[in-house]
């Protein structure tokens, strides 16, 4: 059984929605560098997206800007959809990030075109807003996207930091949006960076 076994509903719009839904199941096979907390395996994109969507519901009280949690959750669940074609790019991979924008744009063109036009535009708009990180909602969503793997690193002996030889400056640069939007949370972040240095997890 597979996508070729899809039985048409006879309605082109409904079929396109079903087929898009089936296609994004690929997110469960896109592995990230982050370890699950039990250290049994790497997490996948779908798990990461679910995790940060739930986090977005919990941490808004620490944001210095007013955010629309509904929109933020939508951004969280769609922000990595393009990786079904583009693959995951590790945050601290300088080489991989060089062509990330081009790869993800091509993936967006292909993936969102599967949907009815107005739905494709709507999801693409959320993805682009998240990526631009200019609106209050996008900045808050970006905080969640950075906090979740950071938390995992603090609870897995700095796994991805150690593996990649990441240094303090790179982590601080990536976490700067949290310092801007969630200063109270950043105090916790900074304490954990200090601890990671002491533990030898970060250079």
Q: pLDDT for 178-189, tens place per residue?
A: 999 999 999 999
**Distance from the Cα of residue 36 to its chain's centroid:** 15
Q: Mean pLDDT over residues 140-165, rounded? A: 97
Q: How far is CA 81 from CA 11, 32, 60, 86, in A?
A: 25, 13, 24, 9
According to the model, what pLDDT value does residue 1 have?
54
* Integer Cα distance of 111 and 103 in angstroms: 12
Report whether pLDDT(141) > 60.
yes
SS3 of 18, please? helix
pLDDT band at 100 (very low <50, low <70, confident <90, very high): confident
Report whether pLDDT(97) > 80.
no
| Percent of the chain's residues with pLDDT above 70 | 100
The answer for residues whose C-beta is within 8 angstroms of residue 3's C-beta and 6 or more apart is: 19, 22, 23
Percent of the chain as helix, strand, coil, to the nearest 5? 70, 5, 25
């Amino acid at each position: 059984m597979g996508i070729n076994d899809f039985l048409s509903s006879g309605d082109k719009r409904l079929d396109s929605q079903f087929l898009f839904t089936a296609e994004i199941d690929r997110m469960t096979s896109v592995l990230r560098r982050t370890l699950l907390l039990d250290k049994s395996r790497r997490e996948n994109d779908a798990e990461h997206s679910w995790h940060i969507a739930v986090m977005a519901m919990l941490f808004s009280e620490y944001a210095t800007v007013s955010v629309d949690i509904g929109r933020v959750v939508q951004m969280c669940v769609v922000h990595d959809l393009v990786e079904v074609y583009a693959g995951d790019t590790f945050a601290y991979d300088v080489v991989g990030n060089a062509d990330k924008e081009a790869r993800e744009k091509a993936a967006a063109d292909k993936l969102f075109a599967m949907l009815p036009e107005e739905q494709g535009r709507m999801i693409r708009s959320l993805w682009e807003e998240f990526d631009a990180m200019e609106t209050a909602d996008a900045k808050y969503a970006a905080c969640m996207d950075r906090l979740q793997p950071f938390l995992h690193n603090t609870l897995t002996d700095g796994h991805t930091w150690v593996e990649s030889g990441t240094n303090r400056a790179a982590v601080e640069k990536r976490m700067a949006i949290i310092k801007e939007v969630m200063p109270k949370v950043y105090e916790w972040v900074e304490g954990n960076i200090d601890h990671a240095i002491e533990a030898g997890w970060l250079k």
